[in-house]
């Protein structure tokens, strides 16, 4: 055994099923370094259809549900809404729809049973021509703090080209039903230290890639934490690479003293090496994060005591996309309590997307059908 190899204890030898302790494979050496966490962070998911205005509707795209909050007996959710065909970048960019999340406005819906939802109408519209959000506002998240409601969301300014740089906007209201006041300027923008090569609309031609978020800042979510406001977001880099983990997508955080900002990016960014849609919640004095879809640490739940330095707590499978968390949950009941139910979206077709529900449960034993297993 090399000097840097861990020396297994008798308990580890038995638990890991190591045959010959003095001849450890690379896999066994890695296993000996795993933290002794147990299964309290391990969950499995199920999804289901919803009713009312969240049932499938041909020609309408509803996607990226926010977290769910509750006012009295009523649950609220905000989401991206658009209509029409998606043509991609090969169509008429000035008049067509590039992506399903293009030409979106933010709508909201309510429910009393979490199954049947009623669309209440427009919450935050696109901006006037020339504004930073004139093309699309989408992928929103809700935060309630001190009696005020805050929606952060992605924005795109026309024209929607391959090299367009998405930003983050903010709206606030003293009622979940609005009216909403929008920030005049973005509260978060991509880093400006990347350099494109030439003028062709090709996002892979760069002279310098720049920071992890030099192209886009996506999927914002603001969490009150340690007396400040932590804006977690997904970064996309100019000249984005495919690595051994897939797309090179990472998360960052920007911190403010006030919900409206200014938000200052953490010098520790990026704070993940993987992920896609941001899904974060407070737990045990820190912040938990569900990391999905892209990168070498995808399909994990991670936790950071300081909201920045995350470690893997479990490896999961089949997590729903674009999760809208249950913000009414007792987060301290157990690490994944907030994941017991919530919202997600599904592609019925590329043009028609629908908001669905999900549930999860902890898994402590794998028991065959008809067999008995202690709980």
CA 88/CA 179 separation, integer angstroms? 33
Instruction: Report which of 315, 231, 317, 323 is spatially closest to residue 269, judged by C-alpha positions.
Output: 231
Strands 116-124 and 51-52: parallel
- Would the pLDDT of 31 be above 70? yes
Percent of the chain with pLDDT over 90: 93
- Residue 122: phi, psi to the nearest 5? -75, 135
Residues in a beta bridge with 67: none
Q: What is the mean pLDDT of residues 342-369?
A: 94
pLDDT tens profile 230-246: 999 999 999 999 999 99
At 5 the pLDDT is: 64
CA 257/CA 145 separation, integer angstroms? 13
CA 133/CA 77 separation, integer angstroms? 21
Confidence of residue 366 (pLDDT cuts 50, 70, 90): confident
At 2 the pLDDT is: 47
CA 224/CA 255 separation, integer angstroms? 10
Q: What is this structure's pTM?
A: 0.96
- Would the pLDDT of 77 be above 60? yes
- Would the pLDDT of 332 be above 70? yes
pLDDT tens profile 136-190: 999 999 999 999 999 999 999 999 999 999 999 999 999 999 999 999 999 999 9
């Amino acid at each position: 055994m090399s000097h840097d190899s861990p020396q297994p204890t008798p308990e580890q030898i038995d638990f890991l099923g190591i045959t010959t302790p003095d001849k450890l494979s690379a896999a066994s050496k890695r296993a000996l370094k795993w933290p002794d966490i147990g299964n309290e962070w391990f969950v499995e998911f199920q999804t289901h259809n919803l009713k009312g205005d969240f049932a499938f509707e041909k020609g309408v795209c509803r996607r990226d549900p926010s977290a769910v909050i509750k006012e009295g007996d009523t649950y609220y959710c905000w989401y991206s809404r658009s209509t029409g065909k998606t043509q991609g970048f090969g169509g008429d960019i000035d008049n067509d729809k590039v992506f399903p999340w293009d030409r979106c406005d933010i709508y909201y819906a309510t429910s009393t049973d979490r199954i049947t939802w009623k669309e209440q109408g427009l919450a935050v519209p696109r901006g006037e021509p020339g504004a930073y959000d004139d093309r699309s506002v989408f992928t929103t998240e809700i935060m309630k703090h001190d009696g005020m409601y805050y929606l952060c969301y992605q924005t795109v300014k026309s024209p929607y080209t391959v090299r367009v740089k998405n930003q983050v906007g903010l709206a606030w209201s003293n009622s979940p039903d609005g009216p909403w006041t929008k920030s005049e300027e973005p509260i978060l923008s991509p880093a400006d230290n990347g350099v494109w090569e030439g003028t062709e609309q090709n996002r892979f031609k760069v002279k310098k890639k720049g920071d992890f978020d030099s192209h886009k800042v996506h999927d914002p979510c603001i969490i009150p934490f340690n007396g400040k406001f932590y804006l977690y977001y997904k970064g996309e880099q100019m000249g984005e690479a495919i690595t051994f983990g897939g797309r090179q997508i990472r998360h960052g955080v920007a911190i403010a003293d006030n919900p409206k900002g200014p938000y200052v990016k953490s010098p520790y960014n990026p704070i993940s090496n993987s992920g896609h849609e941001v899904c974060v919640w407070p737990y045990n004095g820190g912040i938990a994060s569900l990391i999905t879809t892209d990168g070498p640490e995808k399909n994990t739940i991670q936790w950071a005591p300081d909201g920045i330095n995350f470690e893997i707590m479990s490896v999961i499978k089949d997590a729903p996309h674009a999760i809208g968390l249950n913000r009414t949950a007792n987060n301290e009941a157990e690490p994944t309590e907030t994941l017991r139910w919530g919202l997600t979206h599904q592609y019925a077709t590329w043009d028609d997307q629908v908001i669905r529900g999900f549930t999860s449960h902890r898994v402590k034993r794998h028991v065959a059908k008809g067999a008995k297993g202690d709980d």
